């Protein structure tokens, strides 16, 4: 930027660098993201939606229009609670991916071709791996599909799993080949393909390894013939050639027990994180959340991942196990928080639902015990609300329900106040 005055916001004087801002037509005034946000709120328009970054395909490849890591992180903050490190690593990975595509598309003679950095996500079930990725894909408006590695077969014939994934991606892009070739394929449960132990006495899981080999093949930039019709063995069937060199592959798994391997590598086998007297299970979680941030490819190799595959997954995104506090926040804070969702659902039957702070915490605590991360929050709420969701449509009156801790824990009916007749 040449004009000196434009390095700061004209209203609050904060530095503009690294934020989204708008400039006046004469280039003499600029307004930073925070002030735009405040203006939005004053006008009653709610939080700014980042729709403007859903650039058209053309401008996405224009170097000035990248969605910067801080914007990706801020956007994720609206939906995903905690997982700060994962948000940062993923934001940079996506940013680099966009830059790389633009660079290679406009590359001149003599400039290096930037190779792909596929991503490996490691973290417990229900901690937000798939969710983070879906939100990123939404933000940058690219198609994404999720595949399950544990259901893949080792077959190598035409129409094998990699081609099915590519076809699904093409479908997710509504048949637009260009868009599909810049999409994201998320391969979940990759840890289920590994040997369970490093120990040589344990038989190698040959089929798991050969599926890893197969995945390896499509991670490399290759051109694949993708059958368009479901009858994939049809020899003369319609095929489309898909180039996977720009597809971002993200591989994820929970790698249960990985913290022990990391601990060992760091020579901290006897170490306990924290000084409190806590149960063994709690200690394990504490250890996990501490050591997962140190995870390296080598640890995953010991978990049974083949080195060739790890070599092509240079970016490792660690996710921590969500605690009661995080689960409580997930219920209430995100833009589409679960309590807000159920509130909307019940409002169609003329009912309001309110939860005391203790009630919200009780829901989080019950869900935490189920050990499936944020996923169990929904099932706990479904159970609590089921009688009301059943009865409300027949009610003659509009009511407000007040849930306290007891009504969550013992199923006691919540306090019910009639607002008016329907
Ligand atoms: N950190 C979080 N913040 C807000 N919501 C979350 C978070 N983590 C998970 N959720 C909610 O829980 C649901 C399940 O999470 P998600 O599918 O991302 O889990 P996962 O880590 O991919 O688990 P798995 O290993 O079992 O596939 C999400 O759809 C989302 O609604
Ligand atoms: Mg998942």
Model pLDDT for residues 263-279, shown as the tens digit of each residue: 999 988 877 777 677 78
Among the bound ligands, the one closest to the CA of 123: 1
**Ligand 1 atom with least separation from CA of 189:** 25
Ligand 1 centroid vs 135 CA: distance in angstroms?
11
Residues 73 and 160 placed together within one structural domain of the fold: yes
Report whether residue 414 contacts ligand 1, using a CB cutoff of 6 Å. no
Query: Given the DSSP bridges, would you call strands 415-421 and 397-403 parallel, antiparallel or unpaired?
Result: antiparallel
* pLDDT value at residue 45: 67
Question: Which residue CA neighbors atom 25 of ligand 1 most closely?
Answer: 125
Rounded to 5 degrees, φ, ψ at 78 are -70, -20
* pLDDT value at residue 53: 39
Give the torsion through C-alpha atoms of 4, 10, 12, 18, to 10 deg.
-50
**Ligand 1 atom with least separation from CA of 123:** 21
Query: Can you tell me the distance from the alpha carbon of 236 to that of 227, in angstroms, rounded to the nearest whole number?
Result: 10
Residues 72 and 213 placed together within one structural domain of the fold: yes
Ligand 2 centroid vs 127 CA: distance in angstroms?
8
**Of 303, 320, 337, which residue constitutes the final position of a domain?**
320
Residues 341 and 245 placed together within one structural domain of the fold: no
Report whether residue 376 contacts ligand 1, using a CB cutoff of 6 Å. no
Query: Can you tell me the distance from the alpha carbon of 303 to that of 251, in angstroms, rounded to the nearest whole number?
Result: 15
* pLDDT value at residue 73: 95
* pLDDT value at residue 132: 95
Exposed/middle/buried for 273, CB within 10 Å: 0-12, 13-18, 19+? middle
Distances (CA, A) of 138 to 53, 55, 211, 261: 10, 12, 29, 35
Among the bound ligands, the one closest to the CA of 341: 1
Residues 28 and 89 placed together within one structural domain of the fold: no
Question: Which residue CA neighbors atom 17 of ligand 1 most closely?
Answer: 130
Task: Count structural domains, the chain.
Answer: 3
Categorise residue 304: left if φ over 0, alpha if ψ from -120 to 50, beta otherwise.
Answer: left
Ligand 1 centroid vs 81 CA: distance in angstroms?
10
Q: Which domain holds residue 414?
A: 325-421
Report whether residue 321 contacts ligand 1, using a CB cutoff of 6 Å. no
Query: Given the DSSP bridges, would you call strands 248-253 and 119-122 parallel, antiparallel or unpaired?
Result: parallel
**Ligand 1 atom with least separation from CA of 134:** 18
Residues 311 and 366 placed together within one structural domain of the fold: no
Residues 293 and 204 placed together within one structural domain of the fold: yes
* pLDDT value at residue 158: 39
Report whether residue 168 contacts ligand 1, using a CB cutoff of 6 Å. no
Report whether residue 338 contacts ligand 1, using a CB cutoff of 6 Å. no
Residues 190 and 157 placed together within one structural domain of the fold: yes
**Ligand 1 atom with least separation from CA of 132:** 18
Question: Which residue CA neighbors atom 28 of ligand 1 most closely?
Answer: 131
Residues near 378 by Cβ (< 8 Å), separated by ≥ 6?
338
Distances (CA, A) of 52 to 100, 108, 193: 21, 30, 40
Exposed/middle/buried for 140, CB within 10 Å: 0-12, 13-18, 19+? buried
Give the three-state DSSP class for 407: helix
**Ligand 1 atom with least separation from CA of 133:** 18
Residues 336 and 383 placed together within one structural domain of the fold: yes
* pLDDT value at residue 57: 47
For ligand 1, pick from 131, 250, 364 the residue to mutate: most ligand atoms within 8 Å of CB. Answer: 131
Residues 141 and 78 placed together within one structural domain of the fold: yes
Helix axes 375-391, 357-369, angle to 10 degrees: 120
The closest of 231, 234, 227 to 165, measured between CA atoms, is: 227
Dump pLDDT digits (tens) for 277-296.
Answer: 778 888 888 889 999 999 98
Report whether residue 188 contacts ligand 1, using a CB cutoff of 6 Å. yes
Query: Can you tell me the distance from the alpha carbon of 232 to that of 238, in angstroms, rounded to the nearest whole number?
Result: 9
Report whether residue 133 contacts ligand 1, using a CB cutoff of 6 Å. no
**Ligand 1 atom with least separation from CA of 79:** 4
Ligand 2 centroid vs 185 CA: distance in angstroms?
12
Report whether residue 375 contacts ligand 1, using a CB cutoff of 6 Å. yes
The closest of 251, 177, 253, 172 to 218, measured between CA atoms, is: 251
The closest of 336, 414, 326 to 367, measured between CA atoms, is: 326
The closest of 132, 90, 249 to 185, measured between CA atoms, is: 249
Ligand 1 centroid vs 96 CA: distance in angstroms?
24
**Of 288, 304, 320, which residue constitutes the final position of a domain?**
320
Do 107 and 305 touch, CB atoms closer than 8 A?
no
Report whether residue 129 contacts ligand 1, using a CB cutoff of 6 Å. yes
Question: Which residue CA neighbors atom 16 of ligand 1 most closely?
Answer: 128
The closest of 309, 256, 291, 295 to 126, measured between CA atoms, is: 256
Distances (CA, A) of 125 to 121, 256, 317, 381: 11, 9, 14, 19
Residues 33 and 54 placed together within one structural domain of the fold: no
User: In which residue ranges of the chain is pLDDT below 50?
Assistant: 1-3, 50-57, 61, 156-159, 196-204
Give the three-state DSSP class for 317: strand
* pLDDT value at residue 334: 94
Query: Can you tell me the distance from the alpha carbon of 310 to that of 92, in angstroms, rounded to the nearest whole number?
Result: 19
Report whether residue 125 contacts ligand 1, using a CB cutoff of 6 Å. yes
CB neighbour burial string for 208-241, b if at least 16 within 10 angstroms, e if fewer: bbbbbebbbebbeeeebebbeeeebeeeeeebee
> What CATH number does the domain containing 389 carry?
1.10.8.60
Do 246 and 183 touch, CB atoms closer than 8 A?
no
Do 124 and 138 touch, CB atoms closer than 8 A?
no
* pLDDT value at residue 215: 84
Ligand 2 centroid vs 253 CA: distance in angstroms?
8
> What CATH number does the domain containing 126 carry?
3.40.50.300
Residues 127 and 240 placed together within one structural domain of the fold: yes
Q: How many CA atoms lie within 13 A of 388 on its CB side?
A: 29
Residue 46: Cβ within 10 Å count = 9
**Of 265, 299, 320, which residue constitutes the final position of a domain?**
320
Among the bound ligands, the one closest to the CA of 129: 1
Residues 163 and 275 placed together within one structural domain of the fold: yes
């Amino acid at each position: 930027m040449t004009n000196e005055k434009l390095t700061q916001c004209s209203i609050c004087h904060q530095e503009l660098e690294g934020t989204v801002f708008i400039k006046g037509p004469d280039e003499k005034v600029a307004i930073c993201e925070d002030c735009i946000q405040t203006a939005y709120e004053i006008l009653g328009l709610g939080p700014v939606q980042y729709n403007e970054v859903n650039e058209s395909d053309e401008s996405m490849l224009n170097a000035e229009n990248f969605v910067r890591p801080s914007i990706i992180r801020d956007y994720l903050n609206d939906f995903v609670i905690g997982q700060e490190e994962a948000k940062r690593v993923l934001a940079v990975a996506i940013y680099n991916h966009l830059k790389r595509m633009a660079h290679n598309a406009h590359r001149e003679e003599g400039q290096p071709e930037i190779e792909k950095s596929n991503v490996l996500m490691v973290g417990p079930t229900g901690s937000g791996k798939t969710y983070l990725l879906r939100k990123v894909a939404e933000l940058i408006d690219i198609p994404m599909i999720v595949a399950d590695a544990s259901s893949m077969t080792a077959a190598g014939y035409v129409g094998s799993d990699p081609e099915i994934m590519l076809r699904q991606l093409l479908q997710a892009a509504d048949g637009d080949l260009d868009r599909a070739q810049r999409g994201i394929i998320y391969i979940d449960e990759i840890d289920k393909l590994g040997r369970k132990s490093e120990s040589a006495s344990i038989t190698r899981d040959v089929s798991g390894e050969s599926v890893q080999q197969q995945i390896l093949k499509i991670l490399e930039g290759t051109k694949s013939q993708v059958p368009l019709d479901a009858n994939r063995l049809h020899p003369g069937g319609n095929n489309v050639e898909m180039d996977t060199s720009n597809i971002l592959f993200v591989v994820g798994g929970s790698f249960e027990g990985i913290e022990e391997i990391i601990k060992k590598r760091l020579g901290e086998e006897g170490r306990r994180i924290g000084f409190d007297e806590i149960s063994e299970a709690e200690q394990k979680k504490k250890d996990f959340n501490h050591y997962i941030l140190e995870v390296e490819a080598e640890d995953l190799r010991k978990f049974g991942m083949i080195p060739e595959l790890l070599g092509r997954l240079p970016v490792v995104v660690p996710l921590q196990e969500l605690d009661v506090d995080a689960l409580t926040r997930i219920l209430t804070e995100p833009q589409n928080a679960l309590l807000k969702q159920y509130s909307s659902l019940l409002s169609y039957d003329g009912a309001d639902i309110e939860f005391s702070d203790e009630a919200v915490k009780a829901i989080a605590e019950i869900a935490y015990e189920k050990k499936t991360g944020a996923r169990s929050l929904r099932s706990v709420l479904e159970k609590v609300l089921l009688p009301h969701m059943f009865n409300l449509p027949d009610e003659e009156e509009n009511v407000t329900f007040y849930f306290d801790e007891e009504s969550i824990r013992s199923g006691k009916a919540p306090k019910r106040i009639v607002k008016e007749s329907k």
